[in-house]
Amino acid sequence: MPRPTVVILCPKEFKFTDHAASVERPFLADVADVETVWVDFNAPFPAAAAAADALILWHGPHLGADVVARMPRCRAIIRNGVGFDTVDTAAAAQAGIPVCNVPDYGTEEVADHAIALTLALYRQLFPLDAEAKRLGWKIDVAPKMRRLRTQTFGLVGLGRIGTATALRAKALGFRTVFFDPYAPTGTHKAVGVERVGSLAELLAQADTLSIHCPLTAETRGFIGAKEIAALKPGSFLVNTARGDIVQKAPVFAALHSGHLAGAGLDVVEAEPLRTAEEAATPNLIVTCHAAFCSPEGMIEMRRTSAQIARAAVLGQPVWNRVN
């Protein structure tokens, strides 16, 4: 019998996995051959990966039903990361292929990043930095700088990352409130924060709205013009989840009009930014879908996905299954 093959599909632009798969190989070398395939970010699914017994997938090609049908030997698709919206999970389930993710590798990093964006907005770090470097000390942004303990930090979603962010916001003195229809009863008591029963209630109260839900059919475009308008004038928006949860055009319009005092976006709809006009939007902080990044987190993620791939090729139960 030929040895199983584990294929790691990685975008050329980032090369998150080194060619030798130095982190993954120690978990797999005794049970499978390991192959790293680098692809352009939006390239079609490569034929070299179709024969994989297990596929570890970074950002990149979309795995629709047509692709799943071309993977007769595959025993697991593992998304290196939290989100799995690039995989047709229903088609994979119908084909008997588990789809797994790595939901806990970057919990601390993403929560830290959400709070960093929030603090940068509240304390106006980037405008003050620019002013100081112009050798000026007018502090024009002083009216936007607020005392945290007078503010309400509202979270959409209280999963792993949402919980970690809520605890950080609470520790900084924010009144911390969340909306999550899927969080178990009593979650707010365990975490020591407040819960509201609807998105409308959250929008009415939040001085900062921070997004921490997965991208699904339910949440795609979840925050649009109506929701932005329902936020308090002068509020902030932070998104470290998925760009397509928040509609870009109404956010940018609200920043231009001043209804939003600022936005901190690690992710944007149809990312990255497309035009110089988008990049020049006032009171906007944008980072490069990088909230998850740290050497420690990347190694943890690669180890976990390799361990799941090992279980799959050995015919053992896998974990973190999302379909």
Residue 18 has a pLDDT of 85
148 close to 173: Cβ distance less than 8 angstroms: yes
How many residues are listed for the chain in this entry? 323
Distance of CA 239 to the CA centre of its chain: 8
Catalytic residue among 146, 160, 259, 289: 289
Per domain, the residue ranges of the chain are 5-105+294-313, 107-286
Catalytic residue among 25, 113, 242, 310: 242
Residue 242 has a pLDDT of 94
Quick one: which H or E segment has residue 118? Answer: helix 107-122
Residue 146 half-sphere exposure, CB side, CA atoms within 13 Å? 21
Two structure tokens written together for 27: 């978990």
Residue 2 has a pLDDT of 84
Known catalytic residue: 109?
no
Known catalytic residue: 321?
no
Residue 168 half-sphere exposure, CB side, CA atoms within 13 Å? 22
**Three-class DSSP category at 85:** coil
227 close to 253: Cβ distance less than 8 angstroms: no
Identical fold, 5-105+294-313 and 107-286: yes
pTM value is 0.87
Pick the CATH number of 5-105+294-313 from 3.40.50.2000, 2.40.50.1070, 3.30.1370.60, 3.40.50.720: 3.40.50.720
Catalytic residue among 35, 201, 271, 300: 271
Residue 69 has a pLDDT of 94
Sign of the alpha-carbon dihedral angle for 90, 92, 96, 98: negative
Residue type, 103: P
- Rounded CA-CA distance 15/4 in Å is 23
Class of domain 107-286: alpha beta
Residue 82 has a pLDDT of 84
Residue 189 has a pLDDT of 96
- Rounded CA-CA distance 241/267 in Å is 7
For every one of its 323 residues, what pLDDT tens digit does the chain have, with 9 covering 90 and above?
Answer: 689 999 999 888 777 788 899 999 999 999 999 999 988 877 788 888 899 999 999 877 889 999 999 999 999 999 998 888 889 999 999 999 999 999 888 899 999 999 999 999 999 999 999 999 999 899 999 999 999 999 999 999 999 999 999 999 999 999 999 999 999 999 999 999 999 999 999 999 999 999 999 999 999 999 999 999 999 999 999 999 999 999 999 999 999 999 999 999 999 999 999 999 999 999 999 999 999 999 999 999 999 999 999 999 999 999 999 99
Known catalytic residue: 3?
no
39 close to 60: Cβ distance less than 8 angstroms: yes
Residue 39 has a pLDDT of 86
Give me the phi and psi of 172, to 5 degrees please: -80, -5
